[in-house]
């Protein structure tokens, strides 16, 4: 049957003879319904209430409200979720294995793609691990730049969390506003690094290139703009009765539950424990910044919503202080055996090796050419040993377990990604609740499957 | 070189660690030992700081021989323990008043192909009360890769142990549901082991062939 026939006189037949949306078939394990749309009440009415008390519904892996390619197998009794099993791995790309076949510097290009909403955090966590193995200290300016970039990234990530949660709960304006304002952060990233996402900007020993002049202006404009945006979101959602109904008391997970399940980040702080690695185990000079760690006692989706808004305000404070602390200086360690040799500059065809550097290595210094070539192709050697570094990513603790065998490539990198660990809590926050609250509770955990599956 | 999987973590020869091509540097006779092979050397005690307190509390609870080896490197404490005792050690680490490691951050595997017990499982624990971190490490052989599961103590280890099983083939005794988690259920092999090839195809560009990443020249 072709499409044109459908739309013409046969249109009514589809619904009369068979349900185009909910096809059913008998299997050895019972009757199986494949639901792709249509009316839920009609489907439930078709289920024999005596013999089929429990309905197993497969959400995802391709469904907008499952936050990427996440599959949830729910066992329902009516609308109540009796059990829920998350199935992951659909976005596994073997990043950890690939890292073992690239140099330490090339690793940045891979780790940045894990949790695609917080690329700067992946890079910084990885580079902190490499720097700990190398025992080098990055210059002050590089640290401040990292902090500014991380906090901008935290805002962008929290905006996506708010936007997608809004979308999933029917507050579509929040989705539009959230993505619109995240775009402003991505514009800043593009001006600084050349890329909106996956920038591989933070490198072992510092950062790839210095802030361009317009970046400071753009960030200051953003600092000016963002508080108004936050007021807008609060005006839209906080007093909204539907939003309150959908989030308050939903997705409850208290401190002991969080600790048992290893859940960190905003979800842990929404349960009242002020555990933030920026305060408890400072890195990149966070101990010198004046900011608060917001907490809430609700331990539900509402508390996490309030908390993310608060954290954006704190991030704005940190960025402002970072801009004030930005002193001229090097952005890469002085050791030329580690620092990437190319001096990047803007040319007629975009960002690339600076012409001065090319002139130097191609016509002035044979040794500079050899050094450039060797460092780029061979990489630098990292003393053998293992370290674990942890940073506070937007979703919780991002840990990097790095093992070196003394070679030019990582021997093993393990990313302890907060999405992976936090996602284990989905059954705990949704079993016993309603099916609709699975989406609200799951969204409040803010899982990103790129980081979860790596 | 083509078709041969580059061994990782083994001793390197020559100045650049490259084999199969003529050495013109004059340093072809250099041999750098493999730092990851051989016996573990413990750091002499006392270790300083809170490290000694952790060891004392552990030895009080489980006897002197519970710590097979103790290494302090780059300010981090690593305690090597027996694979069948991880669960009881973790219970002490969590419940002992002087330890209180409430959070199990990470469970990951590492494959050291030159060692007899080549599959290592590494646990990173955090005490939020005392703001301390510690690393527990245990090693098993490929023939008998059984480690006691810590899911009873730290439920968060559930998925992470499944990942270590999936990627390294370490079997966690006592895990409620040890199945693959990232790879498909019917996958063969354990991808993160060093003898498991990365895979890939060579790419032709203007007549030149670029081999897949695991067959390219590697500098050790």
Residues within 8 A of B (CB atoms), A 247-306 only: 259-264, 273, 275, 280-281
Architecture of domain A95-338+380-416: Orthogonal Bundle (1.10)
- Return all residues near A208 (Cβ < 8 A) that are at least 6 apart: A193, A200, A201, A202, A340, A344
Determine contact: A102 vs chain B, CB below 8 A: yes
Average pLDDT over residues A28-34: 72
What's residue B36's pLDDT?
Answer: 56
Q: Choose the closest CB to B106 out of A281, A401, A408.
A: A401
Structure tokens at A358: 């090319």
Pairwise CA distance, residues A119 & A132, whole Å: 20
pLDDT at A9 over 50: no
Measured between CA atoms, the residue of chain B closest to residue A280 is B131
Chain A CB contacts of B183 below 8 Å: 89, 92
Chain A CB contacts of B182 below 8 Å: 88-89, 92, 453-454
Residue ranges of the domains in chain A?
95-338+380-416
Measured between CA atoms, the residue of chain A closest to residue B219 is A378
Pairwise CA distance, residues B138 & B122, whole Å: 7
By mean pLDDT, which of A213-217, A410-414, B207-211, B215-219 is the weakest? B215-219
B interface mutation test: which of A273, A293, A403, A453 has the most B CBs within 10 A? A403
> A345: left (phi > 0), else alpha (psi -120 to 50), else beta?
beta
What's residue A129's pLDDT?
Answer: 94
Closest among B153, B202, B198, B220 to B2, alpha carbons compared: B202
8 Å CB contact of A453 and B191:
no
Q: What CATH fold (topology level) applies to the domain B40-191? A: Beta Polymerase; domain 2 (3.30.460)
pLDDT at A296 over 70: yes
pLDDT at A119 over 50: yes
Residues within 8 A of B (CB atoms), A 325-384 only: 377-379, 384
Measured between CA atoms, the residue of chain B closest to residue A93 is B182
Chain A CB contacts of B220 below 8 Å: 407-408
Chain A CB contacts of B104 below 8 Å: 262
What's residue A64's pLDDT?
Answer: 64
H or E, element range at B177: none
What's residue B4's pLDDT?
Answer: 36
pLDDT per residue of chain B (220 residues) written in tens, 0 to 9: 333 333 344 566 666 666 666 666 666 666 666 655 556 777 877 888 889 899 899 988 888 888 888 888 888 999 999 999 999 999 999 998 888 999 999 999 999 888 888 899 999 999 999 999 999 999 998 999 999 999 999 999 999 999 999 999 999 999 998 999 999 989 998 999 988 888 888 888 898 888 888 888 777 7
Q: Which residue has the tokens 């079997």?
A: B171
Per DSSP, the residues of A318-356 read HHHHHHHH--S--SB-S-TTTS----EEEETTEEEE-HH
8 Å CB contact of A401 and B122:
yes
Chain A CB contacts of B80 below 8 Å: none
8 Å CB contact of A388 and B17:
no
Q: How confident is the model at residue A193 (pLDDT cuts 50, 70, 90)?
A: confident
Closest among A271, A112, A65 to A207, alpha carbons compared: A112
pLDDT (tens digit per residue) in A246-284 = 999 898 999 999 999 999 999 999 999 999 999 999 999
pLDDT at A53 over 80: no
Pairwise CA distance, residues A216 & A232, whole Å: 25
Closest among B88, B181, B9 to A386, alpha carbons compared: B9
A453 phi, psi to nearest 5 deg = -90, -25
8 Å CB contact of B156 and A280:
no
SS (H, E, C) B40-57: CCCCCCCCCCCHHHHHHH
8 Å CB contact of B106 and A88:
no
Average pLDDT over residues A16-32: 65
- Return all residues near A363 (Cβ < 8 A) that are at least 6 apart: none
pLDDT (tens digit per residue) in A149-175 = 999 999 999 999 999 998 888 888 899
8 Å CB contact of A388 and B219:
no
- Terminus-to-terminus CA distance in chain A, angstroms? 42
- Return all residues near A151 (Cβ < 8 A) that are at least 6 apart: A315, A316, A318, A319, A322
Chain A CB contacts of B78 below 8 Å: 386
Pairwise CA distance, residues A74 & A66, whole Å: 13
8 Å CB contact of B182 and A262:
no
Estimate the share of chain B in helix, then strand, then coil, as percent rounded to the nearest 5: 20, 25, 55
Q: How many CB pairs under 8 A join A and B?
A: 134
Chain B nearest C-alpha distance from A412 (Å): 7
Average pLDDT over residues A337-354: 75
8 Å CB contact of B35 and A101:
no
Q: Is A327 exposed, middle or buried (0-12, 13-18, 19+ CB in 10 A)?
A: exposed
Chain A CB contacts of B35 below 8 Å: 384, 405-406
Angstrom CA distances, A245 to A238, A249, A379, A426, stand at: 11, 8, 55, 20
8 Å CB contact of B198 and A379:
no
Closest among A121, A35, A148 to A418, alpha carbons compared: A121
pLDDT at A439 over 80: yes
The DSSP code for A286 is G
A210 phi, psi to nearest 5 deg = -75, 165
Examine the predicted complex and report whether its ipTM is higher than 0.90: no
Chain A CB contacts of B218 below 8 Å: 101, 408-409
| A416, β-bridge pairs | A399
Q: Choose the closest CB to B104 out of A89, A262, A388.
A: A262
Chain A CB contacts of B120 below 8 Å: none
pTM of the model: 0.86
8 Å CB contact of A275 and B128:
yes
Determine contact: A218 vs chain B, CB below 8 A: no
- Return all residues near B58 (Cβ < 8 A) that are at least 6 apart: B66, B67, B79, B89, B92, B93, B99
């Amino acid at each position: 049957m072709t499409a044109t026939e459908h739309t013409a006189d046969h249109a009514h037949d589809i619904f009369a003879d068979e349900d185009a949306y909910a096809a059913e078939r008998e299997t050895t394990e019972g009757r199986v319904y494949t639901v792709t749309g249509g009316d839920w009440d009609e489907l439930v009415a078709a289920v024999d209430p005596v013999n089929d008390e429990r309905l197993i519904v497969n959400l995802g892996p391709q469904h907008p409200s499952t936050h990427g390619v996440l599959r949830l197998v729910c066992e329902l009794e009516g609308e109540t979720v009796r059990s829920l099993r998350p199935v992951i791995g659909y976005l596994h790309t073997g990043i950890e294995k690939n890292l073992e076949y690239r140099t330490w510097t090339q690793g940045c290009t891979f780790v940045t793609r894990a949790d695609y909403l917080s690329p700067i955090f992946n890079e910084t966590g990885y580079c902190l691990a490499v720097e700990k193995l190398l025992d080098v200290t990055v210059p002050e300016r590089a640290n401040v730049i990292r902090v500014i970039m991380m906090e901008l990234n935290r805002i962008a990530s929290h905006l996506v969390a708010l936007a997608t949660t809004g979308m999933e709960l029917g507050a579509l304006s929040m989705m539009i506003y959230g993505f619109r304002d995240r775009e402003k952060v991505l514009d800043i990233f593009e001006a600084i690094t050349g890329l909106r996402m996956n920038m591989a900007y933070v490198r072992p020993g510092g950062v790839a290139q210095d802030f361009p002049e317009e970046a400071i202006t753009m960030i200051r404009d953003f600092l000016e703009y963002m508080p108004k945006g936050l007021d807008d979101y609060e005006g839209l959602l906080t007093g909204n009765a539907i939003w309150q109904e959908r989030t308050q008391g939903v997705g409850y997970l208290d401190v002991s539950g969080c600790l048992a399940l290893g859940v960190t980040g905003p979800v842990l702080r929404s349960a009242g424990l002020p555990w933030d690695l920026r305060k408890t185990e400072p890195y990149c000079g966070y101990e010198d910044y004046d900011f608060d760690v917001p907490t809430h006692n609700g331990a539900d989706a509402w508390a996490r919503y309030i908390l993310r808004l608060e954290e954006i305000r704190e991030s704005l404070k940190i960025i402002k202080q970072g801009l004030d602390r930005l002193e001229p200086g090097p952005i890469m360690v002085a050791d030329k055996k580690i620092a990437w040799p190319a001096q990047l500059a803007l040319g007629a065809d975009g960002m690339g090796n600076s012409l001065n550097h090319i002139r130097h290595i191609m016509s002035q210094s044979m040794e500079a050419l050899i050094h450039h070539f060797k460092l780029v192709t061979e990489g630098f050697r990292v003393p053998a040993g293992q370290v674990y570094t942890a940073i506070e990513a937007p979703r919780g603790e991002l840990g990097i377990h790095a093992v070196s065998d003394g070679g030019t490539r990582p021997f093993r990198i393990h990313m302890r990604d907060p999405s992976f660990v936090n996602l284990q809590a989905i059954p705990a926050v949704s079993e016993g609740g309603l099916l609709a609250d699975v989406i609200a509770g799951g969204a409040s955990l803010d899982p990103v499957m790129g980081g979860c599956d790596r | 070189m083509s078709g041969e999987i580059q061994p990782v973590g083994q001793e390197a020869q020559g100045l650049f660690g490259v084999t199969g091509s003529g050495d013109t540097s004059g340093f072809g006779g250099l041999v750098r030992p493999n730092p990851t092979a051989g016996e573990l050397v413990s750091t002499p005690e006392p270790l300083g700081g809170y490290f000694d307190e952790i060891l004392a509390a552990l030895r009080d609870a489980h006897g002197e021989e519970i710590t097979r080896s103790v290494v302090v490197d780059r300010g981090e404490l690593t305690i090597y323990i027996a694979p069948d005792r991880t669960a009881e050690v973790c219970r002490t680490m969590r419940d002992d008043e002087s330890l209180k490691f409430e959070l199990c951050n990470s469970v990951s595997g590492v494959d050291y192909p030159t060692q007899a017990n080549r599959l290592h499982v590494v646990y990173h624990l955090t005490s939020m009360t005392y703001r301390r971190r510690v690393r527990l490490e245990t090693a098993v052989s490929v023939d008998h890769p059984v480690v006691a599961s810590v899911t009873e103590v730290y439920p968060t280890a559930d998925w992470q142990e499944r990942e270590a099983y999936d990627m390294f083939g370490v079997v966690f005794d006592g895990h409620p549901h040890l199945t693959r988690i990232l790879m498909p259920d019917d996958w063969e092999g354990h991808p993160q082991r060093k003898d498991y090839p990365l895979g890939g195809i060579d790419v032709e560009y203007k007549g030149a062939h670029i081999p897949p990443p695991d067959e390219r020249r590697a500098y050790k």
